[in-house]
Amino acid sequence: MKYCSNCGMPVQLRIPEGDTLPRHVCSTCSIIHYENPKIVVGCIPEWEDKILLCRRAIEPRHGLWTLPAGFMENAESLAQGAERETWEEANARVEMGELYSIYSLPHINQVHVLFRARLLDLDFKPGIESLDVKLFQESEIPWDTLAFRVIHEPLNRYFEERRRGQLGFHLGTIEDVCK
Amino acid sequence: MKYCSNCGMPVQLRIPEGDTLPRHVCSTCSIIHYENPKIVVGCIPEWEDKILLCRRAIEPRHGLWTLPAGFMENAESLAQGAERETWEEANARVEMGELYSIYSLPHINQVHVLFRARLLDLDFKPGIESLDVKLFQESEIPWDTLAFRVIHEPLNRYFEERRRGQLGFHLGTIEDVCK
């Protein structure tokens, strides 16, 4: 951020009075511009013993596999966001189920929220952000070409728990591995 | 948003190509400015059969009671955010416990996340955003002067569940009552 979105004049990065963190503050109209973490919402679409994955048509991680998920929009609930993303990326109709996992990713200022969901039919096809959309049994999951650690971790846990017949909610944090 | 935070020139509200929602787009440098829901994190600090509430020294709802909670900051996890807010608003040290509730508030573009937490000592005192900080037994909770519905609902459920000896996680949506 270089300019004030309210008046168009330059902003300064400084700690406002009574605050503890540096913020972009407008030197002309005095507005403080806060920046906060974004929420990514998605789901694990289930069909019998299979789950649906999407192959990414966009960066980052073009060509790799992921669950349908994306940035939550204003004016929707978490579950509505997950349903919308599943429709946009896979043209798949789902009935949202239990909340499955929430991961904080402090190094990229995101919180990832995953639901389990019931795929309602097999009329799915790639949305514009996907190259391919497919159902996978556990033995077919492309573990080495999954797009993100925040997909790998809950998926791995999902199949482990499913084998034990005990699917439950998990709250976690994924730290930057490159630090 | 009236001006581009990247180049300072005016923005237009329009649906970018390949998108479905109107965004603020810069007509000069073409940057798309996305706006997404914010996360509010807080906790229910527990001490024996009492919980800690803060009386707000700021608007909105100046003078009303609430749980320690506030906007999640970049570079922190959900639990770290809840701990920080409890420290800032009540100077209270807590050990974060189980996730207790998550409410989507689509009409104000927020997601509220509450943990249960164990108050570690009684050396709390109002932070600059609080007029007062106090422990309350269930019978003493100021139900009529609680600041927000998103505090009232989980607190009401918390005491109901505690009476039944069955505290569990809840996911909900609070719609605009004024619509």
CB-CB contact of A72 with B36 (8 Å): yes
Residue B35 pLDDT:
96
- Give the mean pLDDT of A157-173: 97
User: What length does chain A have?
Assistant: 179
Residue B179 pLDDT:
53
CB-CB contact of A154 with A114 (8 Å): yes
CA–CA distance, A16 with B70 (Å, rounded to integer): 17
Residue A179 pLDDT:
53
- Residues in A lying within 8 Å of B, measured between beta carbons: 1-11, 18, 20-21, 24, 33-39, 71-80, 88, 99, 102, 104, 106-107, 109, 111, 128, 169, 171, 173
Which letter does DSSP use for residue B57 in this model?
S
Q: How far off is chain B from A131, nearest CA to CA, in Å?
A: 15
pTM comes to 0.96
Complex ipTM value: 0.95
Residue A176 pLDDT:
80
Domains and CATH numbers, chain B: 1-35 (2.20.70.10), 38-173 (3.90.79.10)
pLDDT in tens, chain B (179 residues): 999 999 999 999 999 998 999 999 999 999 999 999 999 999 999 999 999 999 999 999 999 999 999 999 999 999 999 999 999 999 999 999 999 999 999 999 999 999 999 999 999 999 999 999 999 999 999 999 999 999 999 999 999 999 999 999 999 999 986 65
